[in-house]
Amino acid sequence: MFKTGFQSGFKTGRTLAAAAGLAVTFAAGFAAPASAQDTIKVGILHSLSGTMAISETTLKDVMLMLIEEQNKKGGVLGKKLEPVVVDPASNWPLFAEKARELVSKDKVAAVFGCWTSVSRKSVLPVFEELNSILFYPVQYEGEESSRNVFYTGAAPNQQAIPAVDYLAEKEGVQRWVLAGTDYVYPRTTNKILETYLKSKGVKSEDIMINYTPFGHSDWQNIVADIKKFGSAGKKTAVVSTINGDANVPFYKELGNQGVKAQDIPVVAFSVGEEELAGIDTKPLVGHLAAWNYFMSVDTPENSDFIKKWQAFTKNDKRVTNDPMEAHYIGFNMWVKAVEKAGTTDSNAVIDSLVGVAVPNLTGGYSAMLPNHHITKPVLIGEVQENGQFETVSKTPGLVAGDEWSDFLPDSKDLISDWRAPMSCGNFNVKTGKCGGKGS
């Protein structure tokens, strides 16, 4: 059967060697040089309208909370932080326009934002051209490493591969529906998963792949096709990379057609507590999600975070989720790196970020690796009636994010290390050459 321990799919030797060589940074802040600016501006680039607002609005809110909390501590380098919020409105070209505005006009020190990979791809040239910093908080397809981006969400080996392993090992799944929204993240992730499944002996006829546009609402025929595909006598599961508000009618149609978790379990990569808040969860009990954090995690750090969040929002019903934790980690890493560098200068902060470690909310510390990805635990959770997840599996330790997949021929020989002297995002270990920026 499949490799156990959730370690399949990442370059164990060289990734862990890189992680082991990192020094945990606990640098204290020191005085900033004199500046004409009274505040340090922080950009927040999340959709507050359009199809992705269901997921991204809460990320804007948590950034405002984190900035407020930091200001209560005295700010950074003796200055208060000033949030600059823009709404790219789920419009991918508009993301690039708003990013340029934040960096060039508003002079922000860093930007926290994007959800979809297409929005990240849209803004990437802007951050590289203007040499600014983006913290990207959402799981993604990998196959990228930019000097100007810090990826605090999960790489495929920190979510997609472990989820498939769990379904095969614990649920006995033999047939696979790879269902996603039609853009780069689902397509690349499913390409990796298809190759991975076939490497484990799964036949082509036991893999069904389906894509739908953003905001898709008519799921009747697709769910019927999934039911038919699952009636062949082999245990079947859906691996879902469906994004945004399309999840609401998708799960509703599963309930309408009586697709239960014990028959055809769905494991989602983009459905968390925030998305479930808008769904009747009773028909979904037992369906799964793979993340690196759940609100139900029982740690002192998480309890404190939830209390602060609900007090900030003045709503004791507001939920937390994985991308919020990624922003929590990324923001605290940025603060520590700025204090270590003694400046908000992009080059100094980028160099200072590698090796920084901060507490995560599941227990322990997450570290920023030389490939600009972080260490994270992997959790599999079952949907409960109250819209929360019960963790059914968790890695014994932290998994280092692998930017280049072992299961794609053009990627398996690549590594990323943005420290001098390599400073390369796609170094080929066979040829000994850097292929370029890596983005």
Q: What is the pLDDT of residues 270-309, one digit of tens each?
A: 889 988 887 788 888 999 999 999 999 999 999 999 999 9
94, exposed or middle or buried, with CB in 10 Å at 0-12, 13-18, 19+? middle
User: Is 307 part of a structural domain of the chain?
Assistant: yes
Angle at which helices 322-341 and 53-72 cross, to 10°: 40
Supply 60's token pair: 């804007």
Give residue 282's pLDDT: 85
User: Is 313 part of a structural domain of the chain?
Assistant: yes
Residue 245 has pLDDT above 50, yes or no: yes
User: Is 131 part of a structural domain of the chain?
Assistant: yes
Buried b (16+ CB within 10 A) or exposed e, 181-190: bebbbbbbbb
Give residue 212's pLDDT: 97
Share of the chain above pLDDT 90, in %: 85
Average pLDDT over residues 231-241: 96
Q: Are residues 65 and 308 in contact, defined by beta-carbon separation less than 8 angstroms? A: yes
User: Is 285 part of a structural domain of the chain?
Assistant: no
Radius of gyration over alpha carbons of the chain, in Å?
21
- What is the domain extent for residue 372? 12-155+299-376
Q: Which helix (DSSP H) or strand (DSSP E) does residue 346 occupy?
A: helix 346-353
- Global pTM exceeds 0.85: yes
User: Is 363 part of a structural domain of the chain?
Assistant: yes
Average pLDDT over residues 29-45: 68
User: Is 73 part of a structural domain of the chain?
Assistant: yes
pLDDT, tens only, 15-27: 333 443 443 333 3
Who's near 91: CB < 8 A, 6+ residues apart?
Answer: 50
Residue 221 has pLDDT above 90, yes or no: yes
User: Is 245 part of a structural domain of the chain?
Assistant: no
Residue 4 has pLDDT above 60, yes or no: no
Q: The CATH number of the domain where 333 resides is what?
A: 3.40.50.2300
Q: Are residues 65 and 305 in contact, defined by beta-carbon separation less than 8 angstroms? A: no
Give residue 17's pLDDT: 38
Residue 34 has pLDDT above 80, yes or no: no
Which of left, alpha, beta for 320 (phi over 0: left; psi -120 to 50: alpha)?
beta
> Roughly how many angstroms between the first and final C-alpha of the chain, as a whole number?
35
Q: Are residues 418 and 321 in contact, defined by beta-carbon separation less than 8 angstroms? A: no
pLDDT, tens only, 378-411: 999 999 999 999 999 999 899 999 999 999 999 9
Residue 136 has pLDDT above 60, yes or no: yes
Give residue 6's pLDDT: 38
Please count the structural domains in the chain: 1
- Model confidence at 436, pLDDT cuts 50, 70, 90, reads low
User: Is 16 part of a structural domain of the chain?
Assistant: yes
Average pLDDT over residues 18-37: 40
